[in-house]
Amino acid sequence: MAYEFFYWPEIQGRGEFVRLALEDAGVPFVDVARGSESEGRSVPAMLALMQGEGTSHIPFAPPFLRDGDMIVSHTAVILLYLGGRIGLAPTDEDGRLWTHQIQLTITDIVKEVYNSHHPIDEDKWFHEQKDEAIARAAIFRRDRMPKFLGWFERILQANPAGAGHLVGSSVTYADLSLFQLIEGLHFAFPLAAKRELAKLPRVTALHRAVAERPRVKAYLASERRVPFKETGIFRRYPELDG
């Protein structure tokens, strides 16, 4: 039976990290909110689960995944659940948990990216908190982006199996998620990201390698890959790029 995946249909957002894993693994899945009302697959179907219809495990917000009677929410937890099932995580506990820790750190920087353009109130427009966003983004570019990306570079260098992957000798969902993070940074902070990644050959090489994986490459070229835009996590405001 196909996995049912729930996320907003018009943006990449946090759901894209899960989509990339499902696409790379080539497993059957239904992107429910991109379906039609007649199929029972649509945004209202997603919202119904968030209201508790048919489940006692009520997800707070998308993304979430339904696998039979199981509902799993939060990007990192979904990937932890899927990883071993779709061949994108180590089978040993140490490797499985280490991959999850890396994913949680990616979650941390993704939140900081969002806070760079919405530092005061998520319900206010960017122009209503522009001065604060400019100040927050300057700190992100100067301190936080280098700190996080430098950590990923060190992980690649320290991997006993080689610098081709974050964990072990084969691709994991953490590799795919780091790819998505770099894609987002290139969109949101093209100048700062280019400067920083020039110092990080291993991260850059991993990003390029993931882009060439056959199923990822096909997905990126398809209509299923929604483009970045100014309504998701990664938003391009030139004044925030320094």
pLDDT in tens, 105-114: 999 999 999 9
| CB of 166 closer than 8 Å to CB of 156 | yes
| Per-residue confidence band for 1, with pLDDT thresholds at 50, 70 and 90 | confident
Q: β-strands 70-73, 29-31: how paired?
A: unpaired
Containing 6, the helix (H) or strand (E) segment is strand 3-6
242 pLDDT higher than 90: no
Percent of the residues in the chain that have a pLDDT greater than 90, as a whole number? 88
Query: What is the CATH code for 93-213+230-240?
Result: 1.20.1050.10
Calpha distance 77→58 (Å, rounded): 15
Q: Band of the pLDDT at 218, cuts 50, 70, 90?
A: very high
User: Does the pLDDT value for residue 37 go beyond 70?
Assistant: no
Task: Inform me whether the pLDDT recorded for 99 exceeds 80.
Answer: yes
pLDDT of 40 strictly over 70 = no
Task: Note the Cα 18 to chain centre separation in Å.
Answer: 7
Q: What is the DSSP letter of 128?
A: G
Distance CA 134, CA 79 (A): 33
User: Average pLDDT for residues 34-51, to the nearest whole number?
Assistant: 81
Q: How confident is the model at residue 39 (pLDDT cuts 50, 70, 90)?
A: low
Portion of the chain with pLDDT greater than 70, in percent: 98
Are 152 and 203 in contact, with CB atoms under 8 Å apart? yes
Question: Is the CATH number of domain 3-83 3.20.20.70?
Answer: no
Contact of 113 with 234, CB cutoff 8 Å: yes
Q: List, for residues 176-200, the tens digit of each pLDDT value.
A: 999 999 999 999 999 999 999 999 9
Q: In the block, which residue shows the tokens 């969109």?
A: 187
pLDDT of residue 101: 98
Enumerate the CATH 1.20.1050.10 domain ranges in the chain, comma separated: 93-213+230-240
Whether the per-residue pLDDT at 38 is higher than 70: the answer is: no
Report helix, strand or coil for 29: strand
Kindly report the CA angle at 67 between 65 and 72, in degrees rounded to 5?
40
Which helix (H) or strand (E) is 5 found in, with range? strand 3-6
One-character DSSP codes across 156-222: HHH-TT-TTSSSTTS--HHHHHHHHHHHHHHHH-HHHHHHHHTT-HHHHHHHHHHHTSHHHHHHHTS
Q: CB within 8 A of 52, min separation 6: which ones?
A: 58
Q: Can you give the pLDDT at residue 172?
A: 98
Domain with CATH 3.40.30.10 in the chain: 3-83
